[in-house]
Amino acid sequence: VTLPLNAGLRILASEQEWTDVYYSPIEERLVVDRSHSSLIDSDGNSTESGKLRLWPIVGSSNKQTTREPLDLTIVVDGSIIEIYANDQTIITTRVYPWMQNSLGVSLLV
């Protein structure tokens, strides 16, 4: 049995700090994990999420069912992050990385 994997991006990343933005197919949620967003411990390091369902799509020729693709647009403007997912869910949040080199981006699976 293959379980669906979380998929997304690690943004504003360095070795010490990062913010994960990902889709959880089991929970059907878009998640912004800010628990490692800053070396400074604050209330702003909590996780935020919003409901996001990827709808089944039935193929016309072979009747095979797939899920609609995940379409993420992530805009980072200073400390503000805006995430747009499939024209359904929008999350706006702030993070405060302490390290000046927390600028990396990588894929999460």
For the chain, 109 residues long, give each residue's pLDDT as a single digit of tens. Answer: 455 789 999 999 999 999 999 999 999 999 999 999 999 887 778 999 999 999 888 877 777 788 889 999 999 999 999 999 999 999 999 999 999 999 999 999 8
Q: Residue 101 has what pLDDT? A: 94
**Nearest CA-CA partner of 23 in 56, 60, 71, 58:** 71
Q: Where are the domains of the chain?
A: 7-108
Options 2.60.120.560, 1.10.1060.10, 2.60.40.420, 3.40.630.30; CATH for 7-108 is 2.60.120.560
